[in-house]
Copies of this chain bind each other. A is one copy, B any other.
C-alpha cells in the first residue's frame, strides 16, 4: 500500500511569523506529489525540507488571497530555470491564469515545460482531477472571495488474490482481473465460488480534505463525510468569534464541530492568527467537540490512515 502523507509547509494566517510560514502543504501519495496552496517562500521551505520539487505534478490553489498563492510564480520560475520538462497542472480561480501569464510575459519567459491551467469554480463540489489512483474534488467554501477546498480520494484498491485458493478451484488466469474487481467465480460444473473465498479484502480507501479558508459552512460536513483526515482552518478561538464571522474565518470550536458532523477520523487545525502564542488553548477548545485534534507544525508530516 502506498504511503499517503501530508507535510505542512506553512500554517500561519495572513502574515508569516517566526515559526510559521504562509499556507502551503505537500500531499504525497507514494512518489506522486501534490501541492495545496503556495504562500510566499514555499519554494525556500521545500528546499529546506529537501523535498524534490520535480516530483510535484499538480498544484491546487484554494483562493486568491496572497498568503495562499504569492509563492506560486516563484516556484513556476524555478522549475523553468532548472530546466523542468514534465507538465504541471495548476488548478485555481480563473484570474490566476492571467496573473501567471502577465508575469511570465513581463520577463519574456516561455516555460521549459507545459503548464496546464484548470479553472476551479465554487458553486458545487466538482471532480477536477483523476490520475487513476486518486481523484480530487473541489469543494465550495464560504469566504470573502471565491474559495474552494479540495478532497482527495484514493480509489478503491483491487482485492488481493489468494493463490492457493484460486489454484484449488482452477480459476483461469484470464479471470483474475474480474476476481480482483469482486466478481464470484463459476467453475465448469456451474458451481459458484464466492469471491471472498478467493480474494482478500483490500484496505479501505483513504481520503483527505483540505479546507482553508472558510467561515462555518455546514454543507461541507456532508461532502467530506467519513473522511480519513480533515485539515480545517482555525484562524481564531471563540474569544474572537465576531472577528471570525466578519472576516469569514472559523474558530477552533467551529472546525471541530464540522469534523464531528462529518464523522472524520482525525482533525488537523492550521491557518492560525499570529495573535495566538499558546495554541494548546485552540486545541482544548476544539477537543470539546471532537477527538483527535492535531495542531499542525511547519515541517511536520502527518500520515493519512483509516
A129 and B70 CA atoms in complex are apart in Å by 29
A174 interface residue per 8 A CB criterion: no
B40 touches A16 (CB 8 A): no
A98 interface residue per 8 A CB criterion: yes
A199 and B16 CA atoms in complex are apart in Å by 52
Residues of B within 8 A of A71 (CB): 40
B64 touches A107 (CB 8 A): yes
A74 and B18 CA atoms in complex are apart in Å by 16
A66 touches B103 (CB 8 A): yes
A15 touches B78 (CB 8 A): yes
**What mask results when residues 225 to 254 of chain A are scored 1 for a CB within 8 Å of chain B, else 0?**
000000000000000000000000000000
- Closest chain B CB from A213 CB (angstroms): 12
Binds B, one of A41-49, A152-160, A204-212: A41-49
A264 and B269 CA atoms in complex are apart in Å by 55
- Closest chain B CB from A300 CB (angstroms): 19
A95 interface residue per 8 A CB criterion: yes
Residues of B within 8 A of A15 (CB): 78, 81-82
CB-CB contacts below 8 Å: A5-39 with B: 14-16, 18, 21
B73 touches A77 (CB 8 A): no
Residues of B within 8 A of A47 (CB): 16, 18
B107 touches A102 (CB 8 A): no
Q: Which of B14, B41, B107 sits near A40, CB closer than 8 Å?
A: B41
Residues of B within 8 A of A196 (CB): none
- Closest chain B CB from A47 CB (angstroms): 7
Residues of B within 8 A of A44 (CB): 16, 21, 40-41
- Contact A66/B74 with A14-B81, A99-B102, A102-B95 known, Cβ cut-off 8 Å: yes
B106 touches A74 (CB 8 A): no
> Which of A43, A70, A105: most chain B CB closer than 10 A?
A70
A144 interface residue per 8 A CB criterion: yes
- Contact A106/B102 with A16-B43, A74-B40, A78-B15 known, Cβ cut-off 8 Å: no
CB-CB contacts below 8 Å: A45-77 with B: 47, 64-67, 70-71, 73-74, 77
**What mask results when residues 156 to 197 of chain A are scored 1 for a CB within 8 Å of chain B, else 0?**
000000000000000000000000000000000000000000
A103 touches B99 (CB 8 A): yes
**What mask results when residues 84 to 116 of chain A are scored 1 for a CB within 8 Å of chain B, else 0?**
000000000101101100110111100000000
Q: Which of B43, B99, B105 sits near A106, CB closer than 8 Å?
A: B99
A145 interface residue per 8 A CB criterion: yes
Residues of B within 8 A of A67 (CB): 77
List the 3 closest pairs (A to B, CB-CB), nearest first.
Answer: A64-B106, A40-B74, A66-B77
